[in-house]
C-alpha cells in the first residue's frame, strides 16, 4: 500500500487554507445585503424619473421618442446633448425600458416586470451602460464591435448607452464609425454628452440628435414642491427659488442642494402642527452658505441711492459671514442683467413679464422700481466694471478691497456723465465738415453739431460724391473760413505750428507716414495757392530710405496738396540752411530741458538733502 507523500500533504493543507480564507471572506460579506438595503438614498437618485411622464421640461424629446415607438420608426442611434442634470441618461434608460418591456403600453413601460427593474438597477445583460470617460480607448470600442454580432439574451433589442461620449479618443470614434453607421438590426446606440462640440461631425451625421433644454426656475420649483409634499417637508417659495437660482437650470443640482439643506439641520428641525418639517429662506442661506436674494437686491439699492456707508457695510457683512466674494459678485451681475433687460424694455416701450425673466411677480416689481433710477448707459458701465472686477477677484490677494473699490466707483457714474456733458466736444460752438482726400467742402455740406445729435443721422444728407472716397472728419471753429478748393491751414502762427498741424493731419490718415514725417527737418515757403515744402533726413538713415520710396513720395505729395493747397510742391534736401529741425528732435530737446529743470529745481534739491535720497528716474510727459 502506497503511503502519501509530502507533496500530497502540502496540497491538502493549501486547499484547507484557501477554504478557510474563503469562508472568512464570505462571513464578512454576508451582512452587506441587509446593510445596503437600509442605506440612505440621495433625493436625486430616489426621485430619478422612471417614465416619460416624470420628465420635466423636455416635451420635445418625449414626444419624438414615444411617436417613434408607436409608429415603429426606431432609429439605430440617438444622441442626447445638453447641460448637466437635465435628464439625458434618464431618458436613455426610460427609452430602453420602453423598447424591451414585455408589458409596454402606448410607449409607457410598466416598471414592474423583471426587465424594467433590471434596467433601473443597471444590471440588465442586454442594456449595457458604458462610461465614456473611463472607457475611452480603442480597446473598449473593439469590445463593443465584437459583441454587437450576438443577439439579445431576452427580448428583441440589445442597447448600448454610452455616457459622456465626447470623452472618447479620436481613434475610438473612428473605430466606432462603421458599427455606428450599419449596426445589426437588434442593436441600438444611445449616446449622451454635455459637450457636443467635441464630437466629430462624422459621428453626428450618423445619429438622431436631441438638444435638451435647461430648466427654468419655475419648473424646478414646481418639481421640488411635488417631491417635498410627498416627503412631508415644507420650504417657503423664496427658499425654493433661492435653490433653483443656484442650480443653473439643472434639476439634479437643485435636488442635491435640497439634500444638503435637509442634512444640515437633521433631527434638530421640529415638525409643525401639520406634521411636516418647515424651512424658510434664511435657513436655506445658512445651510448652503450662499448670499441671500435680498442681500443682492440691497447691494444694487445702495449703489443706485449712492449710500456708500451701507454699501461697504453690506460687503463687509458678506465677507465676514464666509460668502465667496467672486460668487457674490456673479450673483450681483445676474441681478444687474435683470435690471438692464427691464430698463431696455422700458426705453423701447416693450411689454416684459415676470415669466419671460423667470422671476416672481414681487421681485419683478421691486426690480422695475430700482431700474427707474438708472439709465441704460449707466447700467452698461456698471456691467463693464463688475465683469472686470470678477476676473480681478480670482487672482487678487485682497478680493474684498477690489470689490469695495469697484462698488464705490459705480456710485460715481453720475459725475462722469456730468463731466462728459461739460467737455468741449459736447458744446454747440463747433461744426463738423465732411472733407474728401482732395480737401473740398461746400457750405451746404457743413453739419452743425448739436448736443445729443448723432452724426450718423446726417450722413444721408451728404452728396454721393462726398461718400464714395474715404471721408476725413476735421473739427474747426465756426469762425474759421472755409474754402472750396483746399483745407485752410491756420492763417497765423509759426512754421512749426503749421508743420505740427500737417503732421497731425497725416497721422489721422496714415499713422506710419505721420511717424516718418516726425523725423524730418523741414522748410516751408509760401507760394501762390500753396506752399513749397522741403524735407530733409539724416543721410543714409532708415528714415531717408523710407521717405525716398516712390509710394511714400506720392502719398506725402498728395497729403501736402490736400492740406496746404493744390499748387504746393515737395522736394528733398539735406541742406541745413533755413531748415527747421524735426519734430522728434524738438521733442527730445524739450524733454532734455525739462529733465534738467527738474534736477535743478530747488524743491528737488531740498528733498534730496532732507531724505538723503538719490534720483533714480525722471518721467516727462509732453
- List pLDDT tens digits, range 213-263: 999 888 999 999 999 888 888 888 888 888 888 888 899 999 999 988 888
pLDDT value, residue 268:
58
Q: Please, what is the average pLDDT of the chain?
A: 77
Mean pLDDT of 10-33: 41
Residue keyed to cell 463693464: 384
CA dist 502 → 403, 465, 507, 522, 566 (Å): 46, 25, 9, 12, 15
Say if residues 104 and 111 touch (Cβ distance below 8 Å): no
- How many other C-beta atoms can be found within 10 angstroms of the C-beta atom of residue 174? 15
The pLDDT of residue 88 is 93
Residue-level pLDDT at 22? 39
Distance (Å, whole) CA 162 – CA 130:
5
How far is 204 from 201, CA to CA, in rounded Å?
5
| pLDDT of 400 | 93
Burial 118-136 (b: 16+ CB within 10 A, else e): bbbeeebebbbbbebeebb
pLDDT at residue number 479: 39
Average pLDDT over residues 48-60: 90
Residue 404 pLDDT level (bands cut at 50, 70, 90): very high
The per-residue pLDDT for range 139-186, each reduced to its tens digit, is 989 989 888 888 888 888 999 999 999 999 999 999 999 888 888 999
Q: Is the pTM of this model over 0.85?
A: no
Q: What is the pLDDT of residues 423-447, one digit of tens each?
A: 444 444 443 333 333 333 343 433 3
Domains annotated for the chain, with CATH where assigned, are 43-211 (3.40.50.300), 217-288 (1.10.8.60), 293-419 (1.20.272.10), 427-477 (no CATH), 495-581 (3.30.300.20)
**Arithmetic mean of pLDDT, 600-616:** 72
Q: Which residue has the higher pLDDT, 280 or 328?
A: 328
Cα→Cα distances 111→95, 96, 116, 121, 491, Å: 12, 12, 5, 11, 95
Q: Give the least confident one: 159-173, 219-233, 347-361, 488-502.
A: 488-502
Higher pLDDT, 269 or 46: 46
**Local confidence band at 418 (pLDDT 50, 70, 90 cut-offs):** low
pLDDT at 456 over 50: no
Number of other CB atoms surrounding residue 576 within 10 Å: 11
| pLDDT value at residue 270 | 61
At residue 79, what are phi and psi to the nearest 5 degrees? -125, 120
- For residue 271, give the DSSP letter: B
pLDDT in tens, 55-103: 998 999 999 999 999 998 999 999 999 999 999 999 999 999 999 998 8
**Please, is 56 exposed, middle or buried when counting C-beta atoms within 10 Å of its C-beta (0-12, 13-18, 19+)?**
middle
Name which of 130, 353, 368, 330 is nearest 248 in CA terms. 330
Residue that has been written with the C-alpha cell 455606428 in this structure: 180
| Confidence at residue 292, expressed as pLDDT on a 0 to 100 scale | 65
Query: With b meaning 16 or more CB within 10 Å and e meaning fewer, what string describes 591-601?
Result: eeeeeeeeeee
Q: Please, which pLDDT band fits residue 454 given cuts at 50, 70 and 90?
A: very low
Instruction: Return the pLDDT at 188.
Output: 93
Model pLDDT for residues 560-594, shown as the tens digit of each residue: 888 888 888 888 776 554 455 566 666 677 777 77
Q: What pLDDT shows up at residue 293?
A: 64
Of the candidates 122, 102, 124, 105, the one whose C-alpha atom is nearest the C-alpha of residue 113 is: 102
Most confident segment among 336-340, 365-369, 535-539, 602-606? 336-340
- In this predicted structure, what is the pLDDT of residue 14? 45
Query: Which residues have a Cβ under 8 Å from the Cβ of 330 and sit 6 or more positions away?
Result: 390
SS3 state of residue 304: helix
Amino acid at each position: 500500500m502506497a503511503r502519501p507523500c509530502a507533496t500530497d500533504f502540502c496540497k491538502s493543507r493549501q486547499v484547507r487554507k484557501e477554504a478557510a480564507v474563503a469562508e472568512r471572506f464570505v462571513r464578512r460579506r454576508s451582512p452587506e445585503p441587509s446593510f445596503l438595503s437600509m442605506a440612505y438614498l440621495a433625493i436625486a437618485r430616489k426621485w430619478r424619473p422612471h417614465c416619460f411622464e416624470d420628465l420635466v421640461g423636455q416635451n420635445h424629446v418625449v414626444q419624438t421618442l414615444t411617436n417613434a415607438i408607436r409608429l415603429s420608426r426606431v432609429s439605430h442611434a440617438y444622441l442626447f446633448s445638453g447641460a448637466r442634470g437635465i435628464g439625458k441618461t434618464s431618458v436613455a434608460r426610460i427609452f430602453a425600458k420602453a423598447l424591451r418591456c414585455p408589458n409596454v403600453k402606448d410607449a409607457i413601460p410598466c416598471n414592474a416586470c423583471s426587465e424594467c427593474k433590471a434596467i433601473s438597477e443597471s444590471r440588465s445583460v442586454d442594456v449595457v451602460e458604458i462610461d465614456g470617460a473611463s472607457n475611452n480607448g480603442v480597446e473598449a470600442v473593439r469590445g463593443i464591435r465584437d459583441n454587437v454580432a450576438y443577439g439579445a439574451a431576452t427580448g428583441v433589442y440589445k442597447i448600448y448607452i454610452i455616457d459622456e461620449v465626447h470623452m472618447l479618443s479620436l481613434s475610438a470614434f473612428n473605430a466606432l464609425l462603421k458599427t455606428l453607421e450599419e449596426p445589426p438590426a437588434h442593436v441600438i446606440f444611445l449616446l449622451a454628452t454635455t459637450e457636443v462640440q467635441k464630437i466629430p461631425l462624422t459621428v453626428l451625421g450618423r445619429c438622431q440628435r436631441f438638444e435638451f433644454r435647461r430648466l427654468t426656475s419655475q419648473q424646478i420649483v414646481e418639481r421640488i414642491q411635488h417631491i417635498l409634499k410627498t416627503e412631508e417637508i415644507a420650504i417657503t417659495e423664496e427658499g425654493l427659488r433661492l435653490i433653483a437660482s443656484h442650480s443653473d437650470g439643472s434639476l439634479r443640482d437643485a435636488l442635491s442642494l435640497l439634500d444638503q439643506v435637509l442634512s444640515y439641520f437633521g433631527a434638530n428641525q421640529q415638525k409643525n402642527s401639520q406634521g411636516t418639517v418647515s424651512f424658510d429662506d434664511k435657513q436655506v442661506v445658512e445651510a448652503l452658505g450662499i448670499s441671500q436674494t435680498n442681500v443682492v437686491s440691497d447691494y444694487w439699492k445702495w449703489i443706485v441711492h449712492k449710500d456708500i456707508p451701507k454699501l461697504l457695510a453690506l460687503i463687509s457683512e458678506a465677507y465676514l459671514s464666509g460668502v465667496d466674494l467672486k460668487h457674490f459678485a456673479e450673483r450681483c451681475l445676474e441681478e444687474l442683467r435683470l435690471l438692464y433687460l427691464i430698463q431696455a424694455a422700458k426705453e423701447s416701450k416693450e411689454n416684459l413679464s415676470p415669466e419671460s425673466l423667470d422671476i416672481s411677480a414681487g421681485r419683478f416689481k421691486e426690480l422695475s422700481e430700482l431700474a427707474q433710477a438708472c439709465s441704460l448707459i449707466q447700467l452698461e458701465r456698471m456691467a463693464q466694471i463688475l465683469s472686470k472686477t470678477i476676473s480681478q477677484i480670482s487672482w487678487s490677494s485682497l478680493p474684498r478691497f477690489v470689490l469695495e473699490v469697484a462698488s464705490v466707483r459705480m456710485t460715481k457714474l453720475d459725475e462722469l456723465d456730468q463731466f462728459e456733458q461739460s467737455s468741449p466736444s459736447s458744446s454747440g460752438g463747433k461744426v463738423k465738415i465732411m472733407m474728401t482726400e482732395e480737401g473740398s467742402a461746400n457750405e451746404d455740406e457743413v453739419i452743425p453739431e448739436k448736443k445729443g445729435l448723432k452724426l450718423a443721422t446726417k450722413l444721408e444728407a451728404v452728396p454721393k460724391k462726398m461718400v464714395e472716397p474715404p471721408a476725413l472728419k476735421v473739427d474747426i471753429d465756426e469762425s474759421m473760413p472755409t474754402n472750396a478748393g483746399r483745407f485752410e491751414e491756420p492763417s497765423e502762427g509759426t512754421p512749426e505750428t503749421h508743420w505740427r498741424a500737417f503732421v497731425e493731419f497725416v497721422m489721422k490718415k496714415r499713422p506710419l507716414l505721420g511717424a516718418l514725417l516726425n523725423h524730418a527737418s523741414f522748410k516751408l515757403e509760401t507760394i501762390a495757392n500753396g506752399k513749397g515744402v522741403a524735407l530733409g533726413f539724416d543721410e543714409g538713415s532708415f528714415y531717408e530710405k523710407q521717405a525716398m520710396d516712390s509710394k511714400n513720395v506720392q502719398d506725402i505729395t498728395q497729403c501736402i496738396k490736400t492740406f496746404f493747397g493744390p499748387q504746393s510742391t515737395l522736394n528733398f534736401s539735406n541742406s541745413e540752411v533755413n531748415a527747421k529741425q524735426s519734430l522728434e528732435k524738438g521733442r527730445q530737446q524739450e524733454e532734455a530741458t525739462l529733465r534738467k529743470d527738474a534736477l535743478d529745481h530747488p524743491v528737488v534739491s531740498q528733498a534730496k538733502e532732507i531724505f538723503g535720497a538719490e534720483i533714480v528716474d525722471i518721467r516727462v510727459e509732453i
